[in-house]
Amino acid sequence: MTNKILVVGATGNIGRHVVTGLRERGADVRTLSRFAGADTVAGDLTRPETLHTALSGVDSVFLLWPFLTADGAPAVLDVVAQHARRVVYVSALSVQDDESGVWGQVEAAIRHTSLEWTFLRPGGFATNTLEWAGAIRAGQPVRMPYPKAARSLIHERDIAEVAVLALTEDGHTGRAYPLTGPGALTQAEQARILGEVAGRPAVVEELTAEEARAGMLAWADEAFADGALAYWRSLVDIPEPVTTTVAELTGHPARTFTQWAQDHVDDFRALPAAEVGERYVAAFRAGRKDQAVRWMAQDVVRVAPLENGGKHVELRGLAEIMANAERLTRDTEIHAVAVDGPYVHGDRFAVRFSFDETHTPSGQRSTMTKFCLYTVADGAIIREEVSYFDPPTG
């Protein structure tokens, strides 16, 4: 093959399999990241002007849009269309050729460019059940709204295989492919399978819609939370549809949810501190903070000098910690992160992080280094103690 393919989201659950599949076919692959590396080109989707270098000489783009709104998508796609000929975009089964939701809006933005396109419209991602991993590892109840909502969850490898075909073969332009697993399972059934595979029976505890909404608002806006809850509620009476598209395109049936659970069994087992540390650090090195956070217990405690003259403040609960981190970094642009560790001793491990960052209001660029000590119990981080070598910017 001679065409160069840019993979956006190459370190993610789908993207890493897309990269592997393309390279197995001999494709000329380039990957995009906020931080340049040995195999990546730097670029930031929130700053379209930074994408020209990554797109130079590129014929095709695999696109995962990582945001909860379509704001900025037209500007990004305008830059993509200046360089590339076609795009394969991971959309959603719910789009149905309209412009509803973020996925439909990004599809519409793509249609308004000169790009040749293929839309992959998967149903629920099996990887979304990783949010239950901490509870299953700790033997705690799996809390969810609408446990009888039935979804045809799809393995990320099946999405990636279809993406590779669309990127390397003719005949996929202008097609929108609905992609699902081979059957629909209720959320309660999903939790049961995960517990059985991990050897830790899972007990389901139903959340009210109001409780679930309050939790979602820690990371999503009201429109997204309300839309998601309404969709899950509808799946109690009308399960998510099941398609045969994966089999028709790849020649093999879509992988079952049990197969997915077996592939990810270590995420649901209570691993020792050394393995938790290795996986936590690997996620940070891959630029996947979202994956790193999955190794933290929901009631994790963080002790760090936040303000008040460096006085150590204790934060309790993952939601509070994440909200505070977002507040502290709101005026910071991070250019690169160096990670050293983990340094393991017993049920603890330590990591040193060095951030090359700019305080955007002042334009001052500096290096901030912090040392974090983590305590692990039941395969999850239950405590983080932070010390700064340099005072945090701002």
Residue 283 structure tokens: 């996620």
Those residues of the chain that have pLDDT short of 70 are 1-2, 35-39, 306-310, 390-394
**Residue 169 domain flag:** no
Name the phi and psi angles at 261, rounded to 5.
-60, -40
| CA distance linking residue 148 with residue 370, whole number of Å | 44
Q: Which domain holds residue 348?
A: 273-388
| CA distance linking residue 338 with residue 358, whole number of Å | 15
**Residue 45 domain flag:** yes
Same domain? For 201 and 299 the reply is: no
| CA distance linking residue 324 with residue 252, whole number of Å | 46
**Residue 161 domain flag:** no
**Number of structural domains in the chain:** 3
| CA distance linking residue 287 with residue 291, whole number of Å | 9
DSSP 104: H
Same domain? For 118 and 1 the reply is: yes
What are the strands, taking DSSP E only, across the chain? Answer: 4-8, 28-33, 40-42, 58-63, 86-90, 116-122, 142-145, 150-151, 175-179, 185-186, 204-207, 296-307, 311-316, 332-345, 348-359, 364-377, 380-388
Show Cβ contacts of residue 21 under 8 Å, excluding neighbours closer than 6 positions.
160, 161, 163, 164
Show Cβ contacts of residue 282 under 8 Å, excluding neighbours closer than 6 positions.
none
Same domain? For 238 and 338 the reply is: no
CATH code, 196: 3.40.50.720
pLDDT of residue 390: 58
**Residue 171 domain flag:** no
pTM of the model: 0.83
Same domain? For 219 and 118 the reply is: no
**Residue 277 domain flag:** yes
Residue 317 structure tokens: 């609960």
Same domain? For 137 and 201 the reply is: yes
Same domain? For 360 and 309 the reply is: yes
| CA distance linking residue 65 with residue 350, whole number of Å | 33
pLDDT of residue 36: 61
Show Cβ contacts of residue 294 under 8 Å, excluding neighbours closer than 6 positions.
130, 131, 133, 134, 267, 283
| CA distance linking residue 392 with residue 145, whole number of Å | 39
Same domain? For 77 and 52 the reply is: yes
Same domain? For 147 and 236 the reply is: yes
Same domain? For 86 and 21 the reply is: yes
Same domain? For 138 and 264 the reply is: yes
pLDDT of residue 286: 79
pLDDT of residue 45: 93
**Residue 310 domain flag:** yes
pLDDT of residue 42: 85
pLDDT of residue 394: 45
CATH code, 310: 3.10.450.50
Same domain? For 338 and 374 the reply is: yes
pLDDT of residue 341: 94
**Residue 163 domain flag:** no
Same domain? For 137 and 260 the reply is: yes
pLDDT of residue 223: 86
3-state secondary structure (DSSP) of residue 360: coil
pLDDT of residue 391: 52
Residue 106 structure tokens: 């990004």
**Residue 172 domain flag:** no
